[in-house]
Amino acid sequence: MQKKGDRYGAHRVLEPLGVLPQPAKRLDNDMSEIYDNEILCDVMTLNVDSASFKTILDHAGGKDEEIKKIMFGIVAERGKHQNPWTGSGGMFIGRVARIGEALRGKIDLQVGDRIASLVSLSLTPLRIDEILAIRQKNDQVDIRGQAILFESAVWAKMPTDLDEKLALAVLDVAGAPAQVARLVKPGDTALIIGANGKSGLLCCYEARQRAGSTGKVIASVRRENAVAIVKDSGFADEVIVAAADDALGMLAAVERANRGRLVDVVINCVSRENCEMGSILPCRDGGVVYFFSMATSFTKAALGAEGIGKDITMIIGNGYAHGHAELALDLLRESEYLRRVYTERYVR
């Protein structure tokens, strides 16, 4: 008989007791025995979230050996890969090794299935035995190790019609286009900040579909050399060059592109600090700002909006939405441009 586990994984929390795995400081990552409601996976690839990987790169001076030391150190200290500077994690690709007896026959998984975790590494018990390769431009790290998924975890079987690393890159940000699908309505003007990034280009595509012929999509990029990739996509009506951490500069650029008007919906996809007001200022009263970035400060956003008398709805970037994995993968199936660009970035 296997030990009975808590649905949300509280049985793996070592410190402090009484909290759930994500805010916990340390998890039990002993994989020798699993609880009755756990899924044990052999892990092949970690897709570290963009904000997290950037800080690791900065602290490692861009050196692979230093990156390895930092990642081994995080897991040794915490029992999970939770970045100490951002608090975020990422996700993994793995193969199902064991399924707890309480879950057998109740979930659509078999031992040997290849899956992508759709819950953060910041709450996932993880053991890294060896780091095999680091792909800095993709935020991906190939490893030999194991991880535990809890009963409440979300996962997706790897598609057979798309390259595995391509699918992983898109699944990592699947929550962003899914939220765009909910928020952008026909006739809306939507601003996508960080439009050339992993989540940004997907959001541009989805916003274009949802806004329709009567709506407008404004795509913001930080540097001039990123303009072409967004403009060539055909997903945006206007492409502007503006830094999200320069709030007044962003506001001026949006007003120039939108005939002095503010926008209905703002989607912030940038992995950079101090971009809260650059997202809030261009949004009209009664509009919506969606912060997908893990670098977002709730305090800065809430008090900043209050300070300028801006009455808007602000949404924290929950990476999960019903059907988000299939929606994101379908974007690659629908758009040859997205598939080509993402293949060039994350596969080749």
pLDDT attached to residue 317? 84
259 belongs to a structural domain: yes
Number of domains in the chain: 2
For range 5-30, the mean pLDDT? 97
Same domain, 83 and 111: yes
**Residue 92 included in any domain:** yes
Q: Is there a contact between 286 and 314 (Cβ–Cβ < 8 Å)?
A: no
Residue 3 lies in a domain: no
Residue 170, in any domain of the structure: no
**pLDDT digit string (tens) for 239-270?**
999 999 999 999 999 999 999 999 999 999 99
- What average pLDDT does range 121-146 have in this prediction? 96
184 and 308 part of one domain? yes
Q: 316 and 181 share a domain?
A: yes
Residue 276 resides in a domain: yes
pLDDT at 314: 97
CA–CA distance, 53 with 142 (Å, rounded to integer) = 14
**What was the pLDDT predicted at 277?**
98
* Residue 277 belongs to domain with CATH number: 3.90.180.10
User: Shortest CA distance to 20 belongs to which of 162, 119, 136?
Assistant: 119
Domain boundary among 105, 127, 158: 158
Q: Is the pLDDT of residue 211 over 80?
A: yes
Instruction: Please check whether residues 323 and 194 belong to one and the same domain.
Output: yes
pLDDT at 164: 87
Q: Are residues 120 and 225 in the same domain?
A: no
Q: Is 190 found in the same domain as 149? A: no
Give the pLDDT of residue 258: 98
Handedness of CA 336, 339, 341, 347 (dihedral sign): negative
In this structure, the answer to whether residues 187 and 113 fall within a common structural domain is no
**Same domain assignment for residues 188 and 330:** yes
Residue 211 domain-assigned (yes or no): yes
Provide CB contacts within 8 A for 12, sequence distance 6+. 5, 21, 27, 28, 29, 79, 125, 148, 150
* 89 and 201 fall within a common domain: no
Q: What is the pLDDT of residue 169?
A: 84
Q: Is pLDDT above 80 for 348?
A: no
Mean pLDDT of 61-85: 97
Looking at residues 270-299, what average pLDDT do you find? 94
Give pLDDT tens digits for 188-206. 999 999 999 999 999 999 9
Mean pLDDT of 272-278: 94
d(CA 64, CA 19): 34
The pLDDT value given to residue 59: 96
Is the predicted pLDDT of residue 292 greater than 80, yes or no?
Answer: yes
Is 319's pLDDT higher than 90? no
Q: Which domain holds residue 225?
A: 175-346
Instruction: For residues 82 and 52, give the distance between their C-alpha atoms in angstroms, rounded to a whole number.
Output: 9
Answer whether 13's CB lies under 8 Å from 19's CB: yes
267 plus 295 within the same structural domain: yes
Residue 172: pLDDT band with limits 50, 70, 90:
confident
Average pLDDT, the chain: 95
Chosen domain end from 94, 126, 158: 158
Position 163 in a domain? no
Same domain, residue pair 224 and 339: yes
pLDDT of residue 128: 98
- The answer to which of 119-123, 132-136, 238-242, 314-318 has the lowest mean pLDDT is 314-318
Asked whether residue 1 is domain-assigned, the answer is: no
Q: Is the pLDDT of residue 313 over 90?
A: yes
State both tokens at 181: 């699908």
| Domain shared by 130 and 262, yes or no | no
Pairing of strands 189-193, 263-268: parallel
Q: Is the pTM of this model over 0.85?
A: yes
74 phi, psi to nearest 5 deg: -60, -50
Q: Which residue among 125, 158, 191 closes a domain?
A: 158
